[in-house]
A = this chain, B = another copy of it.
Amino acid sequence: MSEVSADQVESAVFERLRASREAARGLAIANGNLRNAVLESIAAGIEASTERIIAANALDLEAGERANIGAGLLDRLRLDAPRIAALARAVREIAVLPDPLGQTVRGSTLPNGIKLDQVRVPFGVIGAIYEARPNVTIDIAALAIKSGNAIALRGGTAAENSNRVLVQVLRDGVAANGLNPDAIASVDDFGRAGANALMAARGLVDVLIPRGSASLIQAVLNTAKVPVIETGAGVVHIFLDESARLDWAIDIVHNAKVQRPSVCNAVDTVLVHRAAAERVLPGVLDALTRSGVRLLADERTRELYPAAELATEETWGTEHMTLTLGVKIVDDIDEALAHIRAHSTGHTESIITEDVRTSERFLAEVDSAVVMVNASTRFTDGGEFGFGAEVGISTQKLHARGPMGLSELTSTKWIVRGAGQARN
């Protein structure tokens, strides 16, 4: 691209977004069958474009290798035939979910006979800023289409060749069903300035969803002038209360740490009531150690379990994303709650207890999106919650909190039906 100023990029991006808004109107009034037909066209288009996608992806992989982005990122960037088939399958799975639009959320008839219905409608244009994984392009666009929204995408530079082909497949699928393909927009061709314009597009982007690292999300939150849904980072706690059942403590902590340590609902810190420490900690920590978990513990825990390394203050604020776990003995539930208040990111916390007063207090006082009793934190997940699809896990309090499904990609409007009523 030749040199252009940020202002020129902004004008060009805004123009593209205005076209998306125009296209969004068609999608918003399209019935569920038509939106599902678009998704089927996209799924078929992905399958038919397998070779083209692999060829474009190869360019991204080569660039990534040249730039030494590392094996992990290269793996996340890679699209091979089985992954492309899985992408098409995922689109079809979204198509068969119940339609989130048109549901009546609340309704009533006023004393004067006026009928009120609050119904689910699309936002209009959803923005998405994300990194590396090109599958997010398909995933978020399919969720947007299912919920009647247009989408404006800004994927990572690392995946730009892959994303260019995927965006074309998406637009073709929309156009194949008689809808305006501008419902799918990408601002990748404008680089970082395009992302900035997307974040500044008040009135053109109804909601912006950042997906990726904590630093990406923070950067979007700091910059955006459009409404943002914060998804993300979880410093997740499990508190083993005085009355914790040993077998539940062992099973749940092990599951929460070991089953999939790289995701946001994996546990990061286990807090143990000092009156339970001797009884439950050895069993819990032995099971973890056998699965290769590295333990970072406070002094009191190390007296009981010397194999653990010494934690630092940093341990308690860290989302580990690996087989590493902080462990700390606390005097009572007050200290546990205070620790959680100080270090939780408001994602998920769980208590293992047999005492109903303690569990109720934990549920009432822990201010997180999901608060659990006697269950693994790994259950914080749209799929597990029965939503069918997951847009992300919101750690903010406005609009959506916790796992977000299709209905969290909708707004509402009030439909008022009268027969000539005027107000007194």
Contact = CB atoms under 8 A, between A and B. Distances in A.
B370 A420 contact: no
B375 A421 contact: yes
B420 A374 contact: yes
Interface stretch (A84-92, A191-199, A273-281, A406-414): A406-414
Interface stretch (A32-40, A73-81, A378-386): A378-386
Contact of A423 (B114, B259, B398, B401): B259
A418 B375 contact: yes
A77 B424 CA distance: 27
Interface string A259-293: 10000000000000000000000000000000000
A255 B423 contact: yes
Contact of A374 (B386, B412, B419): B419
A interface SS class: mixed
Contact of A252 (B363, B371, B379, B420): B420
A43 B413 CA distance: 35
A177 to B, nearest CB: 19
Contacts of A370: 413-414, 416
Contact of A420 (B248, B399, B412, B418): B248
A403 B413 CA distance: 10
Interface residues of A, number: 68
Contact of A124 (B202, B367, B415, B423): B367
A412 B376 CA distance: 20
B371 A415 contact: yes
Given A370-B413, A371-B415, A373-B416, A422 B384 contact: no
A397 B248 contact: no
Nearest to A248: B420
22 contacts: A29-B364, A29-B365, A108-B386, A123-B397, A124-B367, A202-B221, A206-B398, A255-B423, A370-B413, A371-B413, A371-B415, A373-B417, A373-B418, A374-B420, A374-B421, A375-B421, A376-B421, A385-B414, A397-B411, A398-B398, A402-B414, A403-B414
Given A207-B398, A380-B416, 8 more contacts: A118-B402, A121-B367, A227-B397, A227-B398, A255-B423, A371-B414, A374-B418, A401-B414
